[in-house]
A and B are shown apart, each in its own frame.
Chain A
Amino acid sequence: MEKRLSIIIVEPDPERALPIVDGLRELGEHDIRIIAEETGLARQIAEFRPDVVLIDLANPSRDILEELALASGPLERPVAMFVDRSDEQLTRAAIEAGLSAYVVDGLRPDRIKPILDAAIARFHMIQRMRTELAATRAALEERKIIDRAKAVLMKARGIDEEAAYALLRKTAMDQGKRVADIAQQLVMAAGLLTCR
């Protein structure tokens, strides 16, 4: 049986780190540790002596890892140079997923690839979740604005909610704009017209 790999995930947000850990656990028994703190990153990595470090491409601590990748002296453990240098395809797939990986020199490609594939898949999943969350939030905000616009119309013109929405929708269609944009303009204009 092959020796377990030690893997560090540098990620301050636990909601992002845990899905990555889960993805890696499915591959088998590995020693996985999450580092959330930026302070003392170099020391913690030196203590754990990982085979693989996974980190968000945009994490400001990236440049500290670049230094570690170079700092291996002849007496130290052969540290890491980036994702397997022989595989440019894999490097680019990781970058496109927003993932940066540092791998200890000499680790066989067939041992690295499954880990990176799993991490890349999880990073894509996290990106999708973020996009969806942002879309949900935006939809919620739009809902609120439209409700306020309807209230403005109902009060100003003495119409009911259904008629107010129909009016917003017709105006939006006539102007070639979105209902939310018309609602936003109306709420802003109403704010300007209201005496304080």
Chain B
Amino acid sequence: MQVTRLRLGYLPLIDAAPLIMAQEMGFAAEEGLALELVRLNAWAQARDMLGAGLIEAAHMLVPMPVAQALGLGPRLPAMDLVMFLSQGGQAFAINAALETRLRAGGHGFDFADARAAGLALRRAVSGVLRVGVPFPFSTQSELVRHWLGASGFAPDAVELVTVPPPRMAAALAMGEVDAFCVGEPWASFAVAQGGAALLLPGRAIWAAPPEKGLVLRRDFAASQPELTGALMRALWRAGRWLDDPEHRGSAAEIISRPEYLDLPSELAGRGLGGTLMISSGGELRHAPDFIAFNAGAASFPWRSIAALLADRIARRQGLDPDAAMQAAMGHFRTDLYRQHLRAAGASLPGASSRLEGALKADRMVPAEKGQMILRADAFFDGQTFEPPPWRPEPLSRN
């Protein structure tokens, strides 16, 4: 079989596992692909290299293609998100001074109750809370704004500061930020360095927060449908393999190698295994399904998620939310997901948009064929989001 090389950009995080395992476990080879995994240092670098055609596909924060669709990035060829690669995987951490105050106030650090943690934090903070996030357009930024806003923090009582994930621990230690929200293993890394305590997993705030997506250039997806499909199937199968708890340990070993994350595998194993050390005192908390790759339709790129993110980003940036939602929805390619993953056996929901935040528990719903389970996706405060109907325009190149 002829093998095609594809260059994939990724940042060193546990949610890069589908890309790494697709190559290492042979899911890519089964599809006739050899993945050249290019380790990157910045999210902006992933976006720019993809735009200039220096990589064929990128592991990207889900809100990034939304921001690009809204014209909030450099002028580059159109980019589409064709599938989610992970849900969850984030943790919110606070510095030692806040930890002491929260403990003195009787907070139990259960690493689960977002309402209690939010109220405890509100009582402990006077003045402005500076929170590190990895990128202005990130799931972390949305989680922090939603949770702190619903916990009584006024908009001007929170300052979000962009900090590259590997620097998060140092930024906390040097007092540049008081807290941060970041993808694993960088929260566990900060706990291991000392001076950080984990307060919540991202899933305690929003039960199914889409974290990373596979982003391609629109012209590549259109002109190379076979390669696009092969890549999506390889990553989808890698995600399914990763969702078997038996495989998480070996995944942690492999992604931690020097050529990938280059960290002790024990750190990556915490998030992947769902048991996190929340303080330097060694307290462990079990967080079931801390990160999901495939189960419960985790990889389906709902257009309603594009609308939800576009609505929030547009309001902050002073753009028209209705136009923003329409623009963004066209960049989450549920059509390509159906086309390329149907044959692989992915469960396909009947609709491509839904009321977001409505499921308090996993639910069985009708699918294209038979039934499928959708993962719970409620926000901790019960908020829901009704997307507008999508009025597709002919696909443009920009």
Contacts and interface: CB of A to CB of B under 8 A. Distances in A.
Interface of A: 38-39, 57-67, 70, 81-83, 85-88, 91-92, 95-96, 100
A100 B48 contact: yes
Among A63, A67, A87, A100, max chain B CB count under 10 A is at A63
A67 B162 contact: yes
A95 B136 contact: no
Nearest to A95: B52
A82 B74 contact: yes
Given A66-B135, A88-B75, A59 B42 contact: yes
B174 interface: yes
Contacts of A39: 174, 176
Nearest to B77: A88
Interface of B: 40-45, 48-49, 51-52, 54, 72-76, 134-136, 161-164, 166-167, 174, 176, 317
The 4 closest A-B pairs by CB, nearest first: A62-B42, A82-B74, A95-B52, A67-B162
What is the predominant secondary structure among interface residues of chain B facing chain A? loop
A95 B51 contact: yes
Contacts, number: 77
B162 A66 contact: yes
A57 B48 contact: yes
B162 to A, nearest CB: 4
A63 B51 contact: no
B317 A62 contact: no
Given A38-B167, A39-B174, A83-B74, A96 B54 contact: yes
B43 A57 contact: no
A58 B76 contact: no
Contacts of B43: 62-63, 66
A81 B176 CA distance: 25
Given A57-B49, A63-B162, A66-B43, 15 more contacts: A39-B174, A60-B164, A62-B42, A62-B45, A64-B163, A66-B162, A70-B317, A81-B74, A82-B74, A82-B75, A85-B74, A86-B75, A92-B52, A100-B44, A100-B48
Contacts of A83: 74
A147 to B, nearest CB: 29
A95 B54 contact: yes
Given A86-B75, A91-B76, A96 B44 contact: no
Q: Which of A61, A62, A82, A85 has its CB near the most chain B CB atoms (within 10 A)?
A: A62
A169 B163 CA distance: 54
B166 A60 contact: yes
B135 A58 contact: no
B288 to A, nearest CB: 31
A95 B75 CA distance: 12
Contacts of B49: 57, 95
Nearest to A85: B75
A57 B49 CA distance: 9
Contacts of B40: 58
Nearest to B40: A58
A147 B174 CA distance: 50
A69 to B, nearest CB: 9
Nearest to B49: A95
Nearest to A71: B136
A63 B166 contact: no
B167 A60 contact: yes
Nearest to B71: A85
Contact of B73 (A59, A82, A86, A92): A82
B373 to A, nearest CB: 36
5 contacts: A58-B40, A63-B164, A67-B136, A70-B317, A83-B74
Contact of A62 (B41, B163, B176): B41
A64 B168 CA distance: 13
Contacts of A91: 51-52, 74-76
B137 to A, nearest CB: 8
Contacts of A82: 73-75
Nearest to A70: B136
A95 B164 contact: no
